Chain A
Amino acid sequence: MKYLDEFRDSERVKRLLKIINSIKLPERVRIMEVCGTHTMSIRRFGIHRLVEDRVELISGPGCPVCVTTVDYIDRAVMLSELDDVIITTFGDLVKVPGTRGSLSTSGGDVRVVYSPIESLKIAMDNQDRNVVFLAVGFETTVPGIALTVKEAMQQGVKNFYILEGNKIMPPPIRALLDDPEMEIDAFLLPGHVCTVSGYLQYEFIVREYGKVAVVSGFEPVDILLAILEILKMVRDGKRGIINMYPRAVKPHGNRKAMDLVYEIFQRADDTWRGLGLIPLSGLKLRNRSFSAEERFELPKMDSKEHPLCLCGEILKGKARPDQCRLFGTACTPDHPIGPCMVSSEGTCAAYYKFQEYLR
């Protein structure tokens, strides 16, 4: 397929690798990727091994399911237990364990949807019940959810709500850069998040923190090209932000999509698993009548993560999955204990799937 095959071409991959591995650097460059699809792509193609002499690739908080708090899961499970509620959700969330079980064991009416918009049809087909969509995801996912809410408004759908959990990417990057224990030289910026939001809002990485940032696509050639540009800048002592995925990413992103997002949502403080409360990192509905939180008056949860699960540290890049005592033994994709093992984009799932633990 056009735009895909050219960026998977093995000849280009080999030549880029040869150039990357001939760059002279005083020490390995620490690059964090903050997108679950990058994590998957890097592990699937083994890119981290191919560049390991020059680069340490660290996975950050890029998997939306993984950064969702256990408190959110508990509220979703509680809602699913109500007789008059149908939960609609992306498939990844269903198996994430909460304090007392997951959506898959709650016994409630939980329906997996591919697109949030399917929730509206379910709401219209079930007028005597309430449909709650579990709204998680970053800038890539939010425009579709915003459009779904807008259509619910326009069509006067009265039995549709969302459980607000959407988040945006720049604030956690700032939080990681403010953490004195984090040693990151450069960021691989999330290509599809930037497709929607643009990349100009990441200039603070360069201006305020003096680091390097490169927008990258998801094919092996894209990722290697981005890594090469990062290494060249580090070698030459340059700081900057470069877009190496221009076929999809414009400086301002998709304005129509972002305008819609902020027509429906406004920024609010939000809690991230592993990172804690981050100012203005979440999105809340402007029109509260579509908020499940308002409609169902949920009690305060006494939520607890599994005491041994290292997911939070892994999301900050401070621990690797194989350093977790549960990894690959008690916690596997079939019996996940933490969200990093549940989502296919989770760091633990990627490690497990591509057999990192056997090395």
Chain B
Amino acid sequence: MCLGVPMKIIEVNRELGMAKAEISGFIQNIRIDLLDEVSAGDYVIVHAGFAIQKLNEKDALETLKLIEEIFFDDEVSG
């Protein structure tokens, strides 16, 4: 029951606080009232039918860059 799943927002209905979200071809109606701003194309973490946070692309790329730096340091020192 505690599973959070990343999903892609396909369509937003602000009045109802709802959106259609997709993962691996599976589309589901979710609530987006817990987030301030959500647009089609955003990735969110969905938990029990509620989007609980938007995934931040910049931070995702930062983490991947950090991993590359760790690999680089390892090669230099190793």
State yes or no: do A and B come from one complex.
Answer: yes
Residues of A near any B CB (own CB < 8 A): 1-4, 6, 12, 15-16, 18-19, 22, 35-37, 62-65, 90-93, 114-118, 136-138, 140-141, 143-144, 147, 191-192, 195-196, 218, 221, 225, 228, 244-250, 253-254, 256-257, 260, 343, 345
In contact, A343 and B1 (Cβ under 8 angstroms): yes
7 additional A-B residue pairs with CB within 8 Å, beyond A63-B2, A64-B2: A36-B2, A114-B49, A115-B49, A117-B49, A192-B52, A225-B66, A244-B63
Chain B hits for A221, CB < 8 A: 67
Closest to B28 in A: A114
Q: How far is it, in angstroms, between the C-alpha of A195 and the C-alpha of B78 when the chains are bound?
A: 36
Give Cα A65 to B33, complex, Å.
Answer: 26
> By the criterion CB–CB under 8 Å, are B2 and A147 in contact?
no
Bound-state CA distance A137–B2 (Å) is 7
| B27 adjacent to chain A (CB < 8 Å) | no
13 interchain pairs (CB within 8 A)?
A3-B60, A4-B6, A15-B71, A19-B71, A137-B2, A137-B48, A141-B47, A141-B48, A225-B63, A225-B66, A247-B63, A256-B36, A257-B34
Residue on A with the closest CB to B64?
A6
Q: Does chain A have a CB within 8 A of B15?
A: no
Across the interface, do B1 and A256 meet the contact criterion of CB distance under 8 Å? no
Beta-carbon contacts under 8 Å, B1-28 to A: 1-4, 6, 8, 23-24
Known contacts being A19-B70, A37-B2, A140-B2, is A147 close to B34, with CB within 8 Å?
A: yes
Q: Is the CB of B50 within 8 A of A16?
A: no
B interface majority secondary structure: mixed
A144 with B8: in contact, given A247-B59, A257-B34 (CB under 8 Å)?
Answer: no
User: Distance in Å from the Cβ of B42 to the closest Cβ of chain A?
Assistant: 11
Q: Are A90 and B48 in contact (CB under 8 A)?
A: yes
Bound complex: CA A253 to CA B54 (Å): 11
Q: Chain A residues near B1: list those with CB within 8 A.
A: 64-65, 90-93, 136-137, 141, 343, 345
Cβ contact of A254, chosen from B35, B56, B59, cutoff 8 A:
B35
**Residues A192 and B56 in contact in the complex (CB < 8 Å), given A15-B71, A260-B34:** no
**Which of B48, B74, B78 has the most CB atoms of chain A within a 10 A radius of its CB?**
B48
With a cutoff of 8 Å between Cβ atoms, the chain B residues found around residue A6 in the complex are 60, 64
* Residues of chain B at interface, number, CB under 8 A: 35
B contact residues vs A (CB 8 Å cutoff): 1-4, 6, 8, 23-24, 31, 33-36, 43, 45, 47-50, 52-53, 55-57, 59-60, 62-64, 66-67, 70-71, 74, 78
CB of B67, distance to nearest CB on chain A (Å): 6
Distance (whole angstroms) from the CB of B72 to the closest CB of chain A: 11
Complex CA distance for A225 and B66, rounded to whole angstroms: 10
Give Cα A179–Cα B52 distance, bound, in whole angstroms: 33
Contact across chains for A37 and B67 when beta carbons are under 8 A apart: no
**Is A3 within 8 A of B67, CB to CB?**
no
Q: Once the chains are docked, how many angstroms separate the CA of A47 from the CA of B60?
A: 22
CB closest residue in chain B, given A19: B74
Cα of A16 to Cα of B68 in the assembled complex, Å: 10
Complex contact A254–B53 (CB within 8 A): yes
Query: Contacts of A147 on B, CB cut-off 8 Å?
Result: 31, 33-34, 50
Provided the pairs A4-B6, A64-B1, A248-B45 are in contact, do residues A143 and B50 lie with their beta carbons within 8 angstroms? yes
CB-CB nearest in chain B for A118: B49
Chain A residues with Cβ under 8 A from B62's Cβ? 246
Name the residue among B1, B45, B78 with the largest chain A CB count within 10 angstroms: B1
The complex places the Cα of A187 from the Cα of B52 at a distance, in Å, of 23
B2 x A247 contact (CB < 8 A): no
Quick one: which of B8, B48, B70 contacts A228, CB cutoff 8 A? B70
